[in-house]
Amino acid sequence: AAEPAASLTAGSTRYGKAVDMWSLGCIFGEMLSGKPCFPGTSTLNQLEKICEIIGKPTEEQIRAKLDEIAAQVTADYEGKELLLVGVLKGAVMVMADFARALPTHMTMDWMAVSSYGTGTRSSGVVQIRKDLDTDLHGKHVLIVEDIIDSGLTLHWLLANFASRGAASIEIFSLLRKPDAAKVEVPCKYVGFDIPSDFVVGYGLDYAERYRNLRDVAVLAPHVYA
């Protein structure tokens, strides 16, 4: 994901300033040395100190929502062959859990795109880094995303997929930021509408970290301030 804008607001940290400075020191120390702050300890132990775990949504809420949407999708696609297309890398966790929540057969493919480049905001200029292996002709495609932010990535992807002859194309995004939308994206299945805070976890990253957090969390501002 892109780096959050400096103007982003986030809630207060649960930890004191001393801990914040210690955590920040750990991050820079790790970046400079390439070694963990405390060799032998899990980096996840430090994640709880540098992310504000506000638990919106928590692992349990995500699981419940995935079950709910899986039931809807199962009913909507009855008698049809469903192809789930995950957008790498952020959608990995959603895809893994959502696919297992489906009680019916489905196939799975992946697309890797980049719309951020070296900038800090989505550019809307999308590059394909890995294309699908599947011919979409006649397929019922459900794109699986972790988050819709500006909407530019999915806007582009929909146009791209439309030219490939799919029988239908719908979107499932676990998270959506309505206030950040630059283009309208017709998303049939939405897990949670969230504020425009910079979120990490459950597949979402900041500088490639935090994807393995089990909850979605708001990144504490001192991490990028």
Active-site positions read 149
151 interacts with ligand PRP by CB under 6 A: yes
Which range touches ligand PRP (CB under 6 A), out of 4-12, 14-22, 108-116, 214-222?
108-116
Compose the 115-144 pattern: x for residues touching ligand PRP by CB under 6 A, - for all others: xx-----x----------------------
Using the rule CB under 6 A, which residue among 4, 57, 86, 90 binds ligand PRP? 90
Residue 119 corresponds to which tokens in the numbers above?
A: 């900038």
Q: Please spell the DSSP secondary structure of 14-76, one letter per residue.
A: SS-HHHHHHHHHHHHHHHHHSS-SSTTS-HHHHHHHHEE---TT-HHHHHHHHHHHHHHHHHH
User: Dihedral, CA atoms, 60, 66, 68, 72, nearest 10 degrees?
Assistant: 180
Q: Count the site residues for ligand PRP by CB under 6 A.
A: 19
d(CA 88, CA 220): 25
Which range touches ligand PRP (CB under 6 A), out of 7-15, 56-64, 86-94, 95-103?
86-94
153 interacts with ligand PRP by CB under 6 A: yes
197 interacts with ligand PRP by CB under 6 A: no
Using the rule CB under 6 A, which residue among 1, 85, 200, 220 binds ligand PRP? 1
Give the closest residue to 88 by CA, choosing from 205, 189, 181, 216: 205
Q: How far is CA 162 from the centre of its chain?
A: 23
Residues that bind ligand PRP (CB under 6 A): 1, 87-90, 114-116, 122, 145-153, 205
